[in-house]
Amino acid sequence: MRVFLLSALVFLGLNASVYQKNCVACHSKLPIKIDKFFYRYLLKYSSAIETKYAMKLYLQNPKKKNSILNPALLKRFGVKKRTTLSEKDLKKAIDEYWDKYKIFGKLK
């Protein structure tokens, strides 16, 4: 039974997406859910193109001035570290994040 569980965990880990392995894994340790960041981006930038571009810029070069966090949260958590993901993997992660939380086409 243990071998089966270990095999299943390894299989799931190997098949996890870039977004799951790199974004969700880290954000799951924070008291603020990852979807809250998405909604803040969406409120500020509105469109898919602008939102994804802003996320990419921030993740590649995080600074207070290009953060969507309010000052109290920035003071509490600070500015995140620069991503180590490649351009291709970062695009995949942002696209998956967008697809997971976008509200366009989901409202009735």
**pLDDT-derived band of residue 6, with 50, 70 and 90 as boundaries?**
very low
What mean pLDDT, rounded, does the chain reach?
A: 85
Element (H, E) at 13: helix 2-14
pTM of the model: 0.78
Distance of CA 71 to CAs 14, 62, 85, 90, Å?
A: 37, 15, 27, 26
Half-sphere exposure (Cβ direction) of 57: Cα atoms closer than 13 Å? 14
Give the model confidence (pLDDT) of 13-55 as tens digits: 567 899 999 998 888 888 888 899 999 999 999 899 999 999 9
Report how far residue 25's alpha carbon sits from residue 30's, in angstroms, rounded to the nearest whole number.
Answer: 10
Report how far residue 17's alpha carbon sits from residue 13's, in angstroms, rounded to the nearest whole number.
Answer: 9
Model confidence at 8: pLDDT above 50: no
Mean pLDDT, rounded, for 54-67: 95
